[in-house]
Structure 1
Amino acid sequence: MKVTQIPFQKTGFFSKTMHHYLERNKQLQSFYNNFPNIDGFKNQIEEKQQNYTKETRSILVESLKNQYHNFSISEKTQQNLDLLEKENTFTITTGHQLNLFTGPLYFLYKIFSAINLSEELSIKFPKQNFVPIYWMATEDHDFDEINYFNFDEKKVTWNRKDGGAVGRFSTYGLQDVFNVFAHHLGNSKNANYLKELFSKGYLQHKNLSDATRFIANELFATYGLVIIDGDDTELKKLFSPYVKDELQNQYSYKEVSKTIAALEKSYKIQVNPREINLFYLDDDFRERITLEDGIYKVNETDLQFTKEEILLEVDKNPQAFSPNVIMRPLYQEVILPNLCYIGGGGEQAYWLQLKNYFNKVTIPFPILLLRNSVQVISEKQAKKLEKLDITKEDIFLNQHKLLSKKVAENSNLELNFSKRKVFLKNQFLELKEVAKQTDITFLNAVNAQERKQLKGLEKLEKRLLKAEKRKQKDLVDRITKIQNELLPNQSLEERQRNFSEYYLEYGEDFLKALKKSLKPLQLEFTILEL
């Protein structure tokens, strides 16, 4: 195994927002609290310790014990559940949708980031304990985003009727999905493990929440991962004061809108708040709550409440109130002794919109950490890259730029016309001096001719490059093939492939390699050669 780190910025797959965050650009500093380094965590521990109550901790632990009822718990996970009862224990959290069979590869990278950071902080701060948390997005209702995974360039899909929170979905119908998937796997030792994991997860559990917990627990229990389901009555009771506050005052809309007005001057906005950022949740639906003429209505239903009635409903039926993307982060930070949220670039960008809202409701804003990203390269692929003289950073170049670069390096001709363009511009400078001594129409004619000549040179440059690519067709084909293998659909493979492809080849060693190689606080992109 060989591990190489390169800056996230060198991959071309991360936004300006994330570049500036990693660089601690002053433009962005007012939108977050503590930065993800040791000093930042020291400050965050102090802030959270003053804010998190013993009563909340007790309810959290009891809820987690109930959620793990009927599940086998590893010794390490049990230790972490016990540690959560102690006032000097804090959490490191990542969250993810309930994607079929974990979905894209980065599901693993998120969780190993949380596990490894917890272990690193335990060394840096020996007087405190740190527990990695996976927050299951059980209340999401975007089924089309989670009902498939890619395996060996094929899409494995679960087709069923949509509606309601996905965690409550029955696993009925997944036998057919299993049959299709199993057919592609073969009968090796690793294939049989994957079959067993899928079948035990989805065919022996009644709903998607339990199935996902089983699979994540099987993959990560050795490392002490604790899995939480926010669709829980006792946990929702803890959040009820903030739900009532939202219904009466709409602070999330007001504060996030102010932040957006400042943030959008320089950065892309990820999510926009609604006036009320809550859903009403039932077994068959999850619909927005709106306020019209003093009446609270549940979209697409006949349900409606007066102010007094809806506040009473929060007390009677707290599990029915489900936070949307704006309020879910607050829910997490209210119920957990959390220090840090680990997520992808898009997730962190919308968290950056929330700090003022957190300040308004006096909940500490967590440290935001960009999750580890990984490019896996096999030994065979590494040899091909070496023969083609493609560097680790070259892999991530736009394909046209990569081919142009390598064809130029392999050519006896000078394919770049930059010097010729400079020479041409210098020639026209002399003409412009002459033109200035006549009239403006002659100067305009000179400028127009310069543009024409430069455009002509650019066309010739492109034609020469195109001709050279045809001449070097074998090289072009080899480069195209290897880059397409590494970056399917010209995207990071972690967003396209499922872990089962690598587990099929490497087995448990793949998970061990990730565990060993991912360094969350290095804030760099990981290239893993296996």
Structure 2
Amino acid sequence: MTVAASTIAAVRRIPFGAFDAFPLLFETYCTAYEALDAFYAGDFRRAEVRADAARRAAEHPRDRAALVDVLLEQNARWGLDDATRANIEALRRPETVAVVTGQQVGLFTGPLYTPYKTITTLQLARRLQEETGRPVVPVFWLEGEDHDFDEVAAVRLLQRNELVEVRYAGHTPPEGGNLGPVGRLVLTGQIDEVLAAVEAALAPSDFRDGLMERVRDAYRPGVSLLDAFARLMRAFFPEEGLVFISPDDARLKRLAAPLFRREIADHATVQARFEAVSARLSEHYHAQVHARPTNLFLLEDNRRYALDAEGTHFRLRGTDRLLNREDLLARLDEHPGCFSPNVILRPLMQDTLLPTAVYVAGPGEVSYFAQLKPVYEWAGVPMPVVYPRASATLVESKVKKVLAQHPIDVPDLAEEADRLFRRVVLDEMEVDVEAVFQEAVRHLHTAVNTFKPVAERVDRSLGKAAEATRAALAKEFARLKERVLKAEKRHHDTLRQQLHKARVNLFPDGKLQERVLSPLYFLNKYSPALLVHLRNDLDLDTTEHQIVEL
């Protein structure tokens, strides 16, 4: 595949500690792993640790043939190229392992961190294959069973340096807000209005028509949110051998049924272990997620109900319905597709199905994996090494110019807007205009007061002339002062606009760019090949935030 010359001018690094956006636990994990070693499966930075994790994942028994059959069928729905087919078939071999990442099925791939996760996964799979000599497959776990529709139903873009949001409203959550697994929701005709609004928000460019053609091909009425997400991701990462997996499949749930059965029978042990490790972690850091009465949901009536343990029974949260343990286990045997893991059990289901050597995680995921080691041990599933995804901010040339003109760098733009403006004004102020004028007027009065007695000795009537001169000079000084202050205000207004523009670009809505902006804004402006350039230029050493200058 021929790719245009890179639009990336430079990549530099800034420590995570320079930002307020990253939790201490994540910063420590990236910079002083040894302090957290007891909570994880091994130091992600060391090749020998990654190789040992690959060995453990390969040796753990699993039904690879059944897994491959499902993956072939699923990926055929989303565009099964030769590289992906070869990687899926490679999973039949007992020595093959996977580097896995995952994400909710956000509209049009969700924010920028989704491609960053994917890029790190592709890079790391290749690195691990070189390090171990064994086949390594990059896998993307499609988290379509989450029921938070609002979280995945909006796309946010920049339009003339202002943040705009386009929201898909094709479904109305019932009372309680539970639409069931969002990945199952079928796009209505309202998606066409969303697509039109997105296209209108994107500036005219050489790439807009082609980009929107890809998006429209994926997001069409009658297509599920999960299928649309996977199709667009496939279009954005062609020929990379990326394998997608949707756990919302009865055949995969049947493979994971022993894990679910154990959770139903022994959820109290899981809760106790989880609470104990969370308490230890909270002594110095924080607990990212909290224990639940069970770690399973039941999918029923197009809704996703948490199962709350009450003695030997289980209540569908928010209802008066109770199921005893035997009824629940019988349903698991007959209809395993009705069960869904929560955030605690999801990684264990993933690593029960897949030979996961390394999981590529965002900061929040790195944090909650610190709570999971005792749960992996309880389940008898090898815990993967957790590798931080690339974290990056894309800096366009117009923003780079603002940074170059003022004594600020990217992290400074996270500061509250008025406070940042005042700080920059004070830093750049060479003279206090008001003070200089007050001093000048003082000298004026001193001069007139000195000269006036001399004039009056010559001619007493000249005293009035001296006062008239004082008034005229003071008036002219005041006029000059107003002209200077207006010029200073124009400068300040320009500075305020510059800082606002840069802040909206780098910290839209006061948050990290990667957590808010859609990739569509940048792909429209710099071409979809930007993803290939990022694939080549982002550093696989992800222990610092990367500043990508475009």
Counterpart for residue 340 of structure 1: 358
- Aligned partners of 1:319, 1:59: CA distance in 2, in Å? 15
1:169 to 177, 185, 194: 185
Query: Do structure 1's residue 235 and structure 2's residue 264 form an aligned pair?
Result: no
> Which deviates more from structure 2 when the two are superposed, residues 170-179 or residues 247-256?
170-179
CA contact (8 A) 1:17 1:349 kept: yes
Superposition pairs of residues 445-460 of structure 1, within 5 angstroms: none
1:128 to 121, 124, 134: 134
Counterpart for residue 452 of structure 1: none
Counterpart for residue 339 of structure 2: 321
Query: Do structure 1's residue 216 and structure 2's residue 227 form an aligned pair?
Result: no
CA contact (8 A) 1:34 1:43 kept: no
Aligned CA distance change for structure 1 residues 129 and 398 (closer, same or farther; 3 Å): farther
Query: Do structure 1's residue 504 and structure 2's residue 524 form an aligned pair?
Result: yes
1:55-91 per-residue CA deviation (whole Å, 9 max, x = no partner) reads: 5221211110121234432222122112222222111
CA contact (8 A) 2:410 2:506 kept: no
Aligned length: 473
Q: Secondary structure at the match of 2:238?
A: helix
Aligned CA distance change for structure 1 residues 333 and 389 (closer, same or farther; 3 Å): same
Counterpart for residue 266 of structure 2: 249
- Aligned partners of 1:136, 1:349: CA distance in 2, in Å? 20
- Aligned partners of 1:158, 1:276: CA distance in 2, in Å? 32
- Aligned partners of 1:332, 1:396: CA distance in 2, in Å? 36
Aligned CA distance change for structure 1 residues 481 and 190 (closer, same or farther; 3 Å): closer
Q: Secondary structure at the match of 1:221?
A: coil
- Aligned partners of 1:19, 1:68: CA distance in 2, in Å? 36
Counterpart for residue 79 of structure 1: 86
Counterpart for residue 534 of structure 2: 514
CA contact (8 A) 2:11 2:538 kept: no
- Aligned partners of 2:338, 2:533: CA distance in 1, in Å? 42
- Aligned partners of 1:302, 1:412: CA distance in 2, in Å? 71
Q: TM-score normalised to the size of structure 1? A: 0.83
Structure 2 residue runs without a partner (length 5+): 1-8, 174-178, 433-487
- Aligned partners of 1:372, 1:59: CA distance in 2, in Å? 32
Shift of 1:18: 0.8
- Aligned partners of 2:231, 2:356: CA distance in 1, in Å? 23
Larger gyration radius, structure 1 or structure 2? 2
Superposition pairs of residues 233-382 of structure 1, within 5 angstroms: 233-250=250-267, 251-282=269-300, 284-301=302-319, 303-382=321-400
Counterpart for residue 115 of structure 1: 122
Structure 1 residue runs without a partner (length 5+): 415-468
- Aligned partners of 1:188, 1:517: CA distance in 2, in Å? 24
Counterpart for residue 139 of structure 1: 145
Counterpart for residue 151 of structure 1: 157
Counterpart for residue 21 of structure 1: 29
- Aligned partners of 1:170, 1:203: CA distance in 2, in Å? 9
- Aligned partners of 1:383, 1:391: CA distance in 2, in Å? 11
- Aligned partners of 2:403, 2:524: CA distance in 1, in Å? 23
- Aligned partners of 2:510, 2:291: CA distance in 1, in Å? 32
1:50 to 23, 43, 59: 59
Q: Secondary structure at the match of 2:403?
A: helix
RMSD after superposition = 2.4
Counterpart for residue 473 of structure 2: none
CA contact (8 A) 2:166 2:194 kept: yes
CA contact (8 A) 2:205 2:525 kept: no
Aligned CA distance change for structure 1 residues 22 and 240 (closer, same or farther; 3 Å): same
> Which deviates more from structure 2 when the two are superposed, residues 399-408 or residues 378-387?
399-408
Aligned CA distance change for structure 1 residues 507 and 205 (closer, same or farther; 3 Å): farther
Q: Secondary structure at the match of 2:209?
A: helix
- Aligned partners of 2:418, 2:52: CA distance in 1, in Å? 46
- Aligned partners of 2:316, 2:151: CA distance in 1, in Å? 24
Shift of 1:10: 2.1
Counterpart for residue 9 of structure 1: 17
Query: Do structure 1's residue 410 and structure 2's residue 425 form an aligned pair?
Result: no
